Amino acid sequence: MRMRLAWLTDIHLNFLKGLAIYEFFAVIGREKPDAVVISGDIAEAPSFALFLQEMQEALDRPVYFVLGNHDFYRGSLATARDSASLAMQQSPGLIWLTQAGVVELTPRTALIGHEGWYDGREGDYQRSGVVLNDFYLVWDFLELDKHDRLELLHRLGDETASHFRKVLPEALKSHDQVILATHIPPFREGCRHEGHISGDDWLPMLCCRAAGEVLREIMSQHPDKRLTVLCGHTHGLGEAMILPNLQVLTGGAVYRAPVVQRVLEVL
Ligand SMILES: [Fe+2]
Ligand SMILES: [Fe+2]
């Protein structure tokens, strides 16, 4: 058995005007996917659920998703997660991977996912002068100083890592390969800008190292199994082999011009 899984990332649908969104849904439909997976940055907190519902109705296929940092904009971590959970309850074809756990795509392949959050551990956080809109547009970050912000980033990274520590072994128990969707690249090799790995000033805000450490550890214990990580966030296209059985694909993205990254033929 095989199926076609269309992968989207960083589509930022709130930036599209007029009919462009429906044209994009038609582009996805022309790939004739059996299902769609989105690795975050769908829109923003007040709007992503509606866009997902429209996409799912237009395609009439399961839409699996995780949220990206932009999906929390103009909301809080809790309110955006509540919206994702509610969207899943209201539309059976919408599947929020963070809540769904292990999803079987085919008898050989499982799909798992979690948002991820850059955890400040890669690169040089203390010296970095990078200030993201996240710190002003996600309520949980408001009024946090640099030190407290790092504590929150650590907590969010650890949350993602413990999710994967739970669900990845479960998925590997019954499947030869696993596809994992997460917004933030779990390895520095997955954070590319104009062909090079991003610098130490940006890496703290691009990479979720806690998640990467867990994935590397688990996959090195399962050399006969295969993991493919689909991520985004950097908007810089990249492909890296972290281990012979651990591949990371980072999507390339341009605001106002969403694309289908790839259609994966899943066996
Ligand atoms: Fe993005
Ligand atoms: Fe992002």
pLDDT digits (tens, 9 = 90+) for 9-39: 999 999 999 999 999 999 999 999 999 999 9
Cα–Cα distance, 42 to 94 (Å, whole number): 13
Tell me how far the alpha carbon of residue 223 lies from the centroid of ligand 2, in angstroms.
31
Cα–Cα distance, 115 to 240 (Å, whole number): 20
What percentage of the chain exceeds 90 in pLDDT?
97
Go through 17-51 and write b for each residue having 16 or more CB atoms within 10 A of its CB, e for each that does not. Answer: eeeebeebbeebbeeebebbbbbbbbbbbebbbeb
Return the pLDDT at 192.
87
Whether residue 148 is predicted with pLDDT greater than 90 in this model: the reply is yes
Cβ atoms of 107 and 118 within 8 Å: the answer is no
Tell me how far the alpha carbon of residue 232 lies from the centroid of ligand 2, in angstroms.
7
What percentage of the chain exceeds 70 in pLDDT?
100
User: How does strand 238-243 pair with strand 246-250?
Assistant: antiparallel
Return the pLDDT at 102.
98
Residue 9: nearest ligand to its CA? 1
Cβ atoms of 44 and 73 within 8 Å: the answer is yes
Tell me how far the alpha carbon of residue 42 lies from the centroid of ligand 2, in angstroms.
9
Tell me the average pLDDT across 204-218.
98
Cα–Cα distance, 30 to 53 (Å, whole number): 19
What does the pLDDT look like over 54-106, one tens digit per residue?
999 999 999 999 999 999 999 999 999 999 999 999 999 999 999 999 999 99
Taking ligand 2, which is a single-atom ion, which protein residues have CB atoms under 5 Å away?
A: 41, 68-69, 233
pLDDT tier for residue 193 given thresholds of 50, 70 and 90: confident
Phi then psi for 251, rounded to 5 degrees? Answer: -80, 145
Q: Which long-range CB contacts under 8 A does 73-78 form with residues at least 24 apart?
A: 73/44, 73/45, 73/133, 73/134, 73/137, 73/138, 74/44, 74/45, 74/46, 74/137, 75/44, 75/45, 75/46, 75/138, 75/139, 76/45, 76/138, 76/139, 76/140, 77/138, 77/140, 77/156
Residue 67: nearest ligand to its CA? 2
Tell me how far the alpha carbon of residue 221 lies from the centroid of ligand 1, in angstroms.
32
pLDDT tier for residue 248 given thresholds of 50, 70 and 90: very high
Tell me how far the alpha carbon of residue 222 lies from the centroid of ligand 1, in angstroms.
32
Tell me the average pLDDT across 160-189.
98
Tell me how far the alpha carbon of residue 68 lies from the centroid of ligand 2, in angstroms.
5
Tell me how far the alpha carbon of residue 15 lies from the centroid of ligand 1, in angstroms.
11
| Domain boundaries, given as residue ranges, for the chain | 3-266
Return the pLDDT at 195.
81
H or E stretch covering 104: strand 103-104
Q: Place domain 3-266 in its CATH homologous superfamily.
A: Metallo-dependent phosphatases (3.60.21.10)
List Cβ neighbours of 32 (8 Å cut-off, separation of 6 or more).
4
Query: What is this structure's pTM?
Result: 0.98
Tell me how far the alpha carbon of residue 233 lies from the centroid of ligand 1, in angstroms.
5
Return the pLDDT at 58.
97
Whether residue 234 is predicted with pLDDT greater than 90 in this model: the reply is yes
